A and B are shown apart, each in its own frame.
Chain A
Amino acid sequence: DTAVSQTPKYLVTQMGNDKSIKCEQNLGHDTMYWYKQDSKKFLKIMFSYNNKELIINETVPNRFSPKSPDKAHLNLHINSLELGDSAVYFCASSHGTGGTEAFFGQGTRLTVV
């Protein structure tokens, strides 16, 4: 069983489109995260949710909107996609709110053309 699973694994779309990435964890963790990895491999946190409540919202354009229907799911919706949004997006989860012993999904490679 995959602990943290993301769909889709690859996403190619045109500028201006709206897209969503889904994430599910079966570890029973309370906190879930979205990280962005750019072309230089730098990993930066975007959002975190604890029990469906937003607790971290980094300086991310408001075209990015996370949604957590329950504590096992955290989806990322992106409006009006831009070329600069091209990156790998990772979902992660952990027991506590801090990110200790965080488990990561396999990533979604988003390419905006």
Chain B
Amino acid sequence: GENVEQHPSTLSVQEGDSAVIKCTYSDSASNYFPWYKQELGKGPQLIIDIRSNVGEKKDQRIAVTLNKTAKHFSLHITETQPEDSAVYFCGSIGEYGNKLVFGAGTILRVKS
């Protein structure tokens, strides 16, 4: 089945700096890659996603890039703010298209 690895497990950045979180997946047939943000005591919230026919997608300060050949995708957050502090999860839907598998999560701390 699909396996998703996520790095780093924790990331501390200064307010205003950029943050990058990387994920690799195992199933070459995977075609959907979401990123979720989970704040303390809340459920995961979808912040951006990308499909396999696109290499990059942006939404204001957030962008996701996908390299299908290397089977990895990354989340980029620019001009980080304290409210960006949360746990971020990458995900992948594999060959059979019926199961969303998550990475282990990255704790992002933005220091002001």
Which residues of chain A have a CB within 8 Å of any CB of chain B? 4, 33, 40-45, 48, 55-56, 90, 92, 97-107
Contact = CB atoms under 8 A, between A and B. Distances in A.
B49 A56 contact: no
A103 B87 contact: no
Given A41-B105, A90-B44, A99-B100, 12 more contacts: A41-B87, A42-B102, A42-B104, A90-B43, A97-B97, A98-B97, A99-B99, A100-B93, A102-B46, A103-B46, A104-B36, A107-B41
B99 A45 contact: yes
B34 A101 contact: yes
Contact of B32 (A40, A42, A55, A100): A100
Interface of B: 32, 34, 36, 38, 41-46, 49, 87, 89, 91, 93, 97-102, 104-105
B102 to A, nearest CB: 4
A42 B103 CA distance: 8
A102 B100 contact: yes
Contact of B98 (A4, A48, A101, A103): A48
B93 A99 contact: yes
A4 B45 CA distance: 12
